[in-house]
Amino acid sequence: MRCIFVTRDRFPSSMYKKLEEVGRVEVYPYGESPWSTRGVPKEVLKDVARRCDALVVFIGDVVDREVLDAAERLKIVSTVSVGVDHIDVEYAKRRGVAVAHTPYVLVDAVADLAVGLLIAVARKIALGDRLIREGRASPVWGSLMGVDLKGKRAGIVGLGNIGVAVARRLLAFGVEVVYWSRRRKPEVEFALGIKYVDLDELLATSDFVVVALALTPETERFFDQKKFGRLKRGAFFINVGRGRLVDTEALLEALEDGRLAGAALDVFDVEPLPPGHKLARMDNVVLTPHIGSAAVETRERMAELAAENVVAFFKSGRPLYAV
């Protein structure tokens, strides 16, 4: 019988039940929230690669060359995420191991958070909350000034499914939306009434820059000192893509010199963000702990889809959503 290994013991029960359709399910005794990004030990993953047919992982479970070189029976890695930067996808393919992910189901949850972060930093919601809790709000009571959304320009960098969903939401607030993406999308421009501009124009003219790019070798540290230097002075920077898209030192410099009025970040180049990090000491920065898809219904569907990828692979030879 096939061996299917899952790196978390508290995923929704529907996942394990679905996987049992095609094999015997083994579960790592993770012992904490299944949505923690603390990965399981590499030795565990290497052992699984040697003796199991399928591996179901989450962000933090690093499936690199060392793990894949141990693969004797492994045929598929299915991750409960849309991002796959914790998996060496190209090497897996060379080793004959399929890789599957869970796109689409998390689009609305991430887009909701992106707009929430934008509003939180633009209207100083998080700062106001903190000042009240710390007993420091009296000097700014009624005068903690933010900025309106209506009439502003938002530039979306990366118009995938999440970028499109963010655009729809921002349009409802009366925001003008422009975008830059590696592939132009005239059908979306027509449907939503948004405009494609080159990256330099987007950076120079946008009041809000929303990052929804995928992380690839080409986009790592995409936002460097040079790009931050092109931003419109007083802009806000929102990142719900991946932390390694951004040179953190360049971001800090842009915040400190006033080029940026503020930033709102759900992802970081090092996660978890180290205690006492400079970003956490800035009043004009809103931080969340990588919770873009962390809505109960969304995560349940992601887990189910990761299982469905495995089932489809063993029944038809191809996962529903191959990378």
Which pLDDT tens digit goes with each residue over 24-34? 999 999 999 99
Cα–Cα distance between 117 and 291 in angstroms, integer? 11
Element (H, E) at 118: helix 107-122
Distance CA 51, CA 61 (A): 18
| pLDDT score recorded for residue 247 | 98
Q: Identify the active-site residue in 201, 220, 253, 271.
A: 271
Q: What is the largest CA-CA distance in the chain?
A: 68
Integer Cα distance of 194 and 217 in angstroms: 28
Residue ranges covered by each domain of the chain: 3-103+296-316, 107-287
* Residue 290 among the catalytic residues: yes
Q: Does residue 242 carry a catalytic annotation?
A: yes
118's CB contacts (< 8 A; 6+ apart) are: 149, 154, 170, 208, 210, 236, 238, 264
d(CA 124, CA 126): 6
Q: 242, 259, 299, 301: which one is catalytic?
A: 242
Topology of domain 3-103+296-316, CATH: Rossmann fold (3.40.50)
CA 112 to CA 35: how far, in whole Å? 19
Q: Among 8, 153, 290, 301, which one carries the catalytic annotation?
A: 290
The model's pTM is 0.92
Q: Which residues of 104-125 are buried (b: 16+ CB within 10 A; e: fewer)?
A: ebbbbbbbbbbbbbbbbbbbbb
Query: What span, in angstroms and rounded, lies between the C-alpha atoms of 222 and 211?
Result: 10
End-to-end CA distance of the chain: 26
**Backbone CA torsion sign across 90, 91, 94, 95:** negative
What was the pLDDT predicted at 101? 98
pLDDT at residue 105 in the model: 96
pLDDT averaged per 10 residues, the chain (length 323): 97 97 98 94 97 97 98 97 95 98 97 98 98 98 98 98 98 98 97 98 98 94 98 98 97 98 97 96 97 97 98 98 97
d(CA 82, CA 301): 12
Q: Which class in CATH covers the domain with range 107-287?
A: alpha beta
